[in-house]
Amino acid sequence: MTNLKRFINKVIIVTGAASGMGRASVIRFVAEGGKVIAVDLNEEGLKETVNLAGGDAGNVYYLVGSVSDEGDVKRIFDKVIAVEGKLDVLAHFAGILRSSFFTEMSLEDFMLPINVNLVGTFLVCREALPHLVKTKGNIVNTSSTASMYGGAYMTAYAASKGGVSAFTKSLAWEYMQQGVRINAVAPGTIATGMTVENPVVGLGDRADYSLFEHSQRPDLAVGKPEDVAGVVAMLASDDGSFMTGEIVKMDGGVHN
């Protein structure tokens, strides 16, 4: 994959690591020499991620928990610090996508992406930052092009990701003088289970699919999780040392 070794002696937590962009980033960080802790609710997926990343070498292991559960988040970070003694990078991918006709959306439907995508980002960043201040480490969060350009039937998701972008920019300013960099990637359509297998959950024939044409390339090409992992690795490495508060759009040129 790469001959780069930018993460030797670095301890990295990757959330949402059981599949997709999180899994690809675990594999990338390990390939570059990092010690990686993979976090997700899906234990079977985590086992597969660790296996794919070469877990037999002892450079990657997993912890099961929910980023939207305050107790889980504290337990995970306490465990990592107890075992590894430090934290250098948080790469936060854990999130969900739900679609709904707006007037049919319950408060519970609206709050689910907010709680997982936005509150989850708050919780993991809050636990990570005291340790990252000590190591002059960094955070890479995950936003979405839906936060910039909108998405039909995705008001709750877009709102949650818009919050992640604003949160990331504000937190970057707050910790700039303490030597901690905080950025986010904002992918468009990436070939993950969340977007390809179930892009418009439960809407069926009632949805107007022409509303998605503005977010598609003419050749219908979509990004790969590995495309995102490469940019995340750059942001998290010294190659991104003069980048903070950035929301890096990755949509294959759709919104240029």
Q: What is the pLDDT of residues 33-69, one digit of tens each?
A: 999 999 999 999 999 999 999 987 789 999 999 999 9
Q: If we measure between CA atoms, which residue out of 34, 38, 87, 91 comes closest to residue 61?
A: 38
Domain boundaries, the chain: 11-250
- Give the DSSP per-residue string, 99-158: ---GGG--HHHHHHHIIIIIIHHHHHHHHHHHHHHHHT-EEEEE--THHHH--TT-HHHH
Average pLDDT of the residues in 208-231: 85
DSSP character at residue 193: I
Question: Can you list the pairs that 80-86 forms with residues at least 24 positions away whose Cβ atoms lie under 8 Å?
Answer: 80/11, 80/13, 80/37, 81/131, 84/11, 84/35, 84/37, 85/11, 86/11, 86/131, 86/134, 86/135
The Cα 124–Cα 74 span in angstroms is 8
> Which residues form the catalytic set?
157
**CB atoms < 10 A from the CB of 217, how many?**
14
Residue with tokens 């993460």: 7
Q: pLDDT value at position 216?
A: 77
Question: Which CATH number fits the domain 11-250, given the four candidates 3.90.180.10, 3.40.50.720, 3.40.640.10, 3.40.1380.20?
Answer: 3.40.50.720
The mean pLDDT value of the chain amounts to 93
pLDDT tens per residue across span 196-210? 544 555 577 788 877
pLDDT higher for 110 or 210?
110
Q: Is the dihedral of CA 210, 109, 198, 51 positive or negative?
A: positive
Q: What distance in Å separates the CA atoms of residue 59 and residue 176, rounded to the nearest whole number?
A: 30
> What average pLDDT does range 186-199 have in this prediction?
70
pLDDT-derived band at 192 (thresholds 50, 70, 90) equals: confident
Rounded (to 5) percent helix, strand, coil in the chain: 50, 15, 35
pLDDT at 197: 47
- State yes or no: pLDDT of 193 exceeds 70: no
* pLDDT value of position 194: 56
Residues in Cβ contact with 198 at an 8 Å cutoff, skipping those fewer than 6 apart: none
pLDDT at residue number 1: 60
